[in-house]
Amino acid sequence: MAARQRLQELFEKYDTSGDGTLSEEEMAKVFQALNIKKEKVEAMFKAADSDQDGVIQVHEFISWLTARGVSIKILKEREARKRKRAKHSEFAL
Ligand SMILES: [Ca+2]
């Protein structure tokens, strides 16, 4: 699967409200997955929100992760671990 498509899917997964953007609340989950410290979250969010409208659009999300050299790999591994843990849950994503 192309990296971009993978990131797009990731975006959609974290967009729990399904409104096509990631709010600060939704991004908090991304930061959590990346083990970003709480005190850095605000600066990180601002860095990602390049048009500064207070939400992260999909292109912002993709270019932010790409610019950070993140870590589809890291996220993938974490996802895989999470999936393993959630294996027996009927509602696991
Ligand atoms: Ca934005």
State how far the Cα of 77 lies from the Cα of 56, in Å rounded to an integer.
23
The whole-number pLDDT of residue 41 equals: 93
Q: Which residues surround ligand 1, an ion (CB under 5 A)?
A: 49, 51, 53, 57
Instruction: Classify burial at 2, counting beta carbons within 10 Å of its beta carbon; exposed 0-12, middle 13-18, buried 19 or more.
Output: exposed
Dist. CA 48 → ligand 1 center (Å): 8
Look at the domain 3-85 and name its fold.
Recoverin; domain 1 (1.10.238)
Q: For the chain, give every domain's residue range.
A: 3-85
The whole-number pLDDT of residue 90 equals: 53
Query: Are the CB atoms for 71 and 62 separated by under 8 Å?
Result: no
State how far the Cα of 42 lies from the Cα of 4, in Å rounded to an integer.
25
Q: Which two tokens stand for residue 56?
A: 């992260």
- Looking up tokens 């993978």, which residue turns up? 6
Query: Regarding predicted confidence, which is higher, 21 or 3?
Result: 21
With 0.95 as the threshold, say if the pTM is over it.
Answer: no
